[in-house]
Chains A and B, each alone.
Chain A
Amino acid sequence: MRDVAVVGVGITKFGEIWEKSLRDIYVEAALAAIDDAGVDHLDSMTVGCMTGGLFIGQEHLGSLLADYLGQKNLAASRVESACASGGLAFRNAFIEVASGMSDIVMAGGVEKMTDIGGDGATYALAAAADQEYEVFNGATFPGLYALMAVAHMEKYGTTRDMLSAVAVKNHHNGSMNPYAQYPFKVTKEGVESSVMVASPLRILDCSPITDGAAAVILTTVDIAKKLGKPIIKIIGSGHATDMIALHSRDDITTLKATTVAAEKAFKMANKTIKDVDFAEVHDCFTIAEIIVTESMGLFAPGKGGEAALKGETSLEGSFPINTSGGLKSKGHPVGATGAAQIVEVVKQLRGEAENGRQLKTNPKVGMAQNMGGSGGSTLVHILEVD
């Protein structure tokens, strides 16, 4: 396997972007990544998108996006793993460069979610759950994470305060991210008086419906050196799945796919969680961040909420989580999220995070955890400054 580095990153403003189409926002992010890397061509491109079909009636994104990016006859494809599609695109690009099949590959992600109404978006997102045995019976995504939250509260005594701490922290971080959909702070009282979606989860426990795209350029370390960019090496990649339906799992207070994917990534990197300085994790709901931090081995089972409440995962904490604002504040264009996480990890490792959210600790190793559905698939990546 060849050593692989990320040499370029690009992201669009996340939000309700009425004036731009899916192809427009993807090309905007892709051009930003190409300009950042300074590459003169691509050998291939892989794009994560959960469901262009249900959101805007558009499939065949490999062809469409290569076309609009001006890359005639490029080897381009779209991959899908629900909300982990962007992370999967990144892993596939990594494998392609590491294997020697291609030298310069773009991994991207895109989702255009606001061209349909709330009902339609709920329907499209529910396609990531078990359609016949969860969705049929009235489950929604907030509902599935609410089932995890109630089980976690029963088993470990996780509290409302702990969920609120995650939302308050991520909005604080996101208030410093110019690309965030909701770049403003929220208060504990604000979170706890926001409208109930699926008890105990309120609207400010949930990530929003978002348009957005992100793209990164991967190449060999040898080529990266010639480009003269800071070399951010991909040292670990892990991928795992779990039973798709929540009720089929032995324990819904943990996310087994996250544990397994993290173990695989740590093994490849020859590191442990103690060697990692910070992480972007998949906080589609506040409870998700708490369970993910436990499942990836950062905190003991049942201790993730307490750690969030004590500020251990804040910008100044011992292990900052979601310096970008996370899905909660930055926004969650589902297929783009995994790629957007890599953008933030690279910015932090280069020392380029905007508006005062740059970690002061001179971080060397960062991690990204991206999951699909209620945890039915997970990608974990570890990046290091060379």
Chain B
Amino acid sequence: MFPSRIWREAKHRYRLEAGKCKKCGKIVFPYRLICPECGHREFEKIILPDTGKLMTYSVIRVAPSQFTDEAPYAIGIAELSNGVKLLAQIADCDVDKIKVGMEIRIEFRRVQTDSHHGVLSYGYKFVPKWY
């Protein structure tokens, strides 16, 4: 993986930066050039909240090559406290105890390693609140 591909997403993945439409208030994550709701083109920079609720999940048992060592692992979509939805892995938990509606917080984690000598990719994962 070429480092620039990771580097250009860092503001989203490391700091949860998002854009809030200056006209209709729609929050876009990652940034966009045009609001999908109202077509306005100016956004205010905001930081997403780091807590939310799990809306759906799945335990992945057949993983793509970059995640084979981690299977089984869980992914889910959470709705954050401001209504924005994200997809991430659910870390630090017994995958059999995951439930829809469960409270989660977002933590900064390593997501992928590109072979033994390649780029380390960091980002966000969900962690159940009870951990």
Q: Is the CB of A248 within 8 A of B85?
A: yes
Q: Find the A residue at minimum CB distance from B54.
A: A150
Contact residues, A91-138 vs B (CB, 8 A): 118-120, 122-123, 126, 132-138
Interface of A is mostly: helix
Q: Is B64's CB under 8 angstroms from A140's CB?
A: yes
The answer to whether B100 touches A198, judged by C-beta atoms less than 8 angstroms apart, is no
Pairwise interchain contact A154-B121, C-beta atoms closer than 8 A: no
The number of residues on chain A lying at the interface, defined by a beta carbon within 8 Å of a beta carbon of chain B, is: 37
In the bound complex, CA of A122 to CA of B67 (Å): 12
Tell whether A69 is near chain B: CB-to-CB under 8 Å: no
Proximity bits, A188-201, B CB within 8 Å = 1, else 0: 00000001111111
Q: Which residues of B contact A137 (CB under 8 A)?
A: 75, 87-89, 111, 123, 125
Tell me the minimal C-beta distance from A152 to chain B in angstroms. Answer: 9
- Which residues from chain A contact B57 at a C-beta distance below 8 Å? 147, 150
Chain B residues whose C-beta falls within 8 Å of the C-beta of A38 in the assembled complex: none
A133 — which chain B residues lie within 8 A by C-beta?
A: 30, 86-87
Encode A233-271 as 1/0 by CB contact (under 8 A) with B.
000000000010111100010000000000000000000
Known contacts A138-B73, A138-B75: does B63 contact A151 (CB below 8 Å)? no
Cα(A135)–Cα(B9), bound, Å = 14
Contact of A198 among B59, B70, B77 (CB under 8 A): B59
Please measure, in the bound complex, the distance between the C-alpha atom of A151 and the C-alpha atom of B59, giving whole angstroms: 14
Which bracket fits the contact residues of B?
20 to 34
Q: Which residues of A contact B81 (CB under 8 A)?
A: none
Determine if A139 is an interface residue (Cβ-Cβ < 8 Å).
Answer: yes
Q: Which of B74-93 contact A (CB under 8 A)?
A: 75-77, 85-89
Rounded to whole angstroms, the CA-CA distance of A148 and B75 in the bound complex is 12
- Residues in B with CB closer than 8 Å to A200 are 58
Interface residues of B in 13-66 (CB under 8 A from A): 30, 36, 55-65
A147-B76, A245-B87 given as contacts; is B56 within 8 A of A198 (CB)?
no
Please report the C-alpha to C-alpha distance between residue A330 and residue B60 in the assembled complex, in whole angstroms.
25
User: Can you sample 26 A-B contacts with CB below 8 Å?
Assistant: A119-B64, A119-B65, A122-B64, A132-B9, A134-B87, A137-B88, A138-B60, A138-B64, A138-B67, A138-B111, A140-B62, A140-B63, A146-B58, A150-B58, A151-B55, A151-B56, A151-B100, A197-B61, A198-B58, A198-B62, A199-B61, A200-B58, A246-B87, A247-B85, A248-B85, A252-B77
